[in-house]
Structure 1
Amino acid sequence: MSEETSAEGDHRRASIMTALREGVRRVDDLALACGVSTMTIRRDLQVLERRNEIRRVRGGAVPVDAWTFDHRLGRSAAAKDAIAAKLLTLVPDKGGIGFDGSTTVHRLARRLKEQPTLDLTAVTTGFETFHELSRTPGCRAYATGGTADPHTGSLVGPLAEVTLRQFALHTCFLSATHLDGSVGSTEFTADEAAVKRVLAAVSERTVLAVDSSKLARRAVATCLSLDEVDVLVSDLDPGDDRLEPYRGLVEII
């Protein structure tokens, strides 16, 4: 496997994209933010440029259409596949489940067709996830109303929140922009965070799925504290040291 397609490379380039969205532009600053050499950053920027995810500028780079769903879906693919396999074991055979509009949780929706017998009602804030769920045998799919978040495309706002409050769910599956041991999960927008809080509030169990590139970092809007999360699912082995800040606070898978 080449460095370009390795899980480690995927995670590192996801971290670079996150830093770029947060306003970091220069190669030296990206190297500091990601904890790697400037030579590694330059190689990763070449990969991202070939994928049309960034545009090179003097001394650094800027993101290109960084928030489109298709671009996000292709990032950290190996990590998201590993997470989806774990999430599949947490899906009940029947009852109500909730999905946010993230690409990580979307991968779980794709895999639900692997379950032999389902009797599920599923509600989601994601257009693409709704389309996957609506084609899944044994699953009655609902999409919330609302307006599209300008950064993620997920449905947010009062209409989305009112729709979600009509459900009493067994489990909700959420992702996050970042996860920090002190403040919990965070999002790039307050609207996105608000909708995810409602999903958690109407669910008996909240499952948070984040790949390792999102750990130990913070975005601008606080969402869920760790005591509001029941299960943390990552692409890492549960014994990995990077999960130490969350150990004892949530179940780790």
Structure 2
Amino acid sequence: MLAQQRQASILDRVRRHGGARVADLVRVLGVSDMTIRRDIEVLAERGLVAKVHGGAVAVDGATDEPGYAAKAEQQRAEKISIARAAAPLAKPGSAVGISAGTTTAALAWELIDVPELTVVTNSIPVADVFYHHGRSDQTVVLTGGTRTPSDALVGPVAQEAAARINLDMLFLGVHGMSVRAGFTTPNLSEADTNRALVAAARRLVVLADHSKWDLIGIATIAALADAHVLVSDAQLPLEARAELSAQVGELIVGDDGTSEELAK
């Protein structure tokens, strides 16, 4: 049985029974204890199950949203890889939007040396990165709104601000991505604000590490085909690359520096 098939079987068992023990999975799937634990680790990184002592349990679902600090500790190397791969897309003198999220916060650190950049963001951590460096040739616009667990400013005030601007490019962080649901978030208000930012931009660049693949939040921000560029990391599975390559305009994979230009 392939790893993907095992993981699908584990996920199905967890969802049907609310949890699964490593010992039971070893017996049912006929593989080693270590293999099962690795499979659970993969599923947990994607937010599909929660690891517990001796097994895995079901997560809360499509509205479960970890706080910013918790998310910042997940896939840190991958986020840096994605940020470095995405940064060259921001050109000097351009106006870019940066949505909230820990991956987009990593991107902010890579953009502080881009000259004459205008940044519009609904992310408090992203704005802080630029404010602390205080470059006179950069302009940072922080939208207002209500603060979410991911340190995003959302709601009518943020949406009104986004509706009045025009961006060359939006760098969008997402909770999940799938063929069926597109790019998603577990927060309905954040989805509304992100959709307003997407509408304000000529080009959409989505930043999403491999753990976001096949993870679905309650609200869709945009379809996969709406992304002009998707930047992910080298651990993105081959089957995911194939699926995404059929939808997005360009797939850039960090670490190994590869990119795939896709014919429409």
Q: TM-score range by the shorter chain?
A: 0.7 to 0.9
What secondary structure sits across from 1:182 in the alignment?
Answer: coil
Change (3 A) 1:41 1:124: same
Q: Give the whole-Å Cα distance in 2 for the aligned partners of 1:38 and 1:113.
A: 43
Deviations 1:118-158 (A, max 9, x none): 11111111111111122342321111100012x42311100
Change (3 A) 1:246 1:39: closer
TM-score, scaled to structure 1: 0.74
Equivalent residue, structure 2, for 1:82: 81
Counterpart contact for 2:125–2:151, Cα < 8 Å: no
Task: Map 1:69-108 onto structure 2 (within 5 A).
Answer: 69-108=68-107
- Structure 1 outlier segments of 4+, above 6 Å: none
Counterpart contact for 1:146–1:155, Cα < 8 Å: yes
Counterpart contact for 1:93–1:119, Cα < 8 Å: yes
Q: Give the whole-Å Cα distance in 1 for the aligned partners of 2:235 and 2:91.
A: 23
Change (3 A) 1:166 1:177: same
Using the TM superposition, give the Cα deviation of residue 55 of structure 1 relative to its aligned residue in structure 2, in angstroms. 9.4
Which runs of no fewer than 5 residues in structure 2 stay unpaired?
1-6, 27-33, 253-264
Q: Give the whole-Å Cα distance in 1 for the aligned partners of 2:37 and 2:166.
A: 51
Change (3 A) 1:85 1:213: same
Equivalent residue, structure 2, for 1:227: 225
Q: Which of 14, 18, 26 is matched with 2:19 structurally?
A: 26
Change (3 A) 1:243 1:60: closer
Equivalent residue, structure 1, for 2:150: 152
Q: Give the whole-Å Cα distance in 1 for the aligned partners of 2:237 and 2:220.
A: 26
Counterpart contact for 1:56–1:62, Cα < 8 Å: no
Using the TM superposition, give the Cα deviation of residue 71 of structure 1 relative to its aligned residue in structure 2, in angstroms. 2.1
Equivalent residue, structure 2, for 1:206: 204
Equivalent residue, structure 1, for 2:193: 195
Equivalent residue, structure 1, for 2:128: 131
What secondary structure sits across from 1:84 in the alignment?
Answer: helix
2:200 maps to a residue whose letter is: V
2:117 maps to a residue whose letter is: L
Equivalent residue, structure 2, for 1:176: 174
What secondary structure sits across from 1:159 in the alignment?
Answer: helix
Q: Give the whole-Å Cα distance in 2 for the aligned partners of 1:28 and 1:97.
A: 47
Using the TM superposition, give the Cα deviation of residue 227 of structure 1 relative to its aligned residue in structure 2, in angstroms. 2.5
Counterpart contact for 2:96–2:118, Cα < 8 Å: yes
Equivalent residue, structure 2, for 1:4: none
Using the TM superposition, give the Cα deviation of residue 58 of structure 1 relative to its aligned residue in structure 2, in angstroms. 8.9
Using the TM superposition, give the Cα deviation of residue 247 of structure 1 relative to its aligned residue in structure 2, in angstroms. 1.1
Deviations 1:43-87 (A, max 9, x none): x6xxx9xxxxx8957965799x97332221121011101100111
Counterpart contact for 2:186–2:218, Cα < 8 Å: yes
Q: Give the whole-Å Cα distance in 2 for the aligned partners of 1:218 and 1:39.
A: 23
What secondary structure sits across from 1:223 in the alignment?
Answer: strand
What secondary structure sits across from 2:222 in the alignment?
Answer: coil
TM-score, scaled to structure 2: 0.71
Q: Give the whole-Å Cα distance in 2 for the aligned partners of 1:111 and 1:217.
A: 27
Q: Which of 114, 118, 131 is matched with 1:121 structurally?
A: 118
Equivalent residue, structure 2, for 1:7: none
Aligned-pair identity (%): 24
1:97 maps to a residue whose letter is: V
Q: Which structure has the bigger radius of gyration?
A: 2
Using the TM superposition, give the Cα deviation of residue 237 of structure 1 relative to its aligned residue in structure 2, in angstroms. 7.6
Q: Give the whole-Å Cα distance in 2 for the aligned partners of 1:203 and 1:170.
A: 6
2:92 maps to a residue whose letter is: D
Q: Give the whole-Å Cα distance in 2 for the aligned partners of 1:188 and 1:165.
A: 22
Counterpart contact for 1:66–1:72, Cα < 8 Å: no
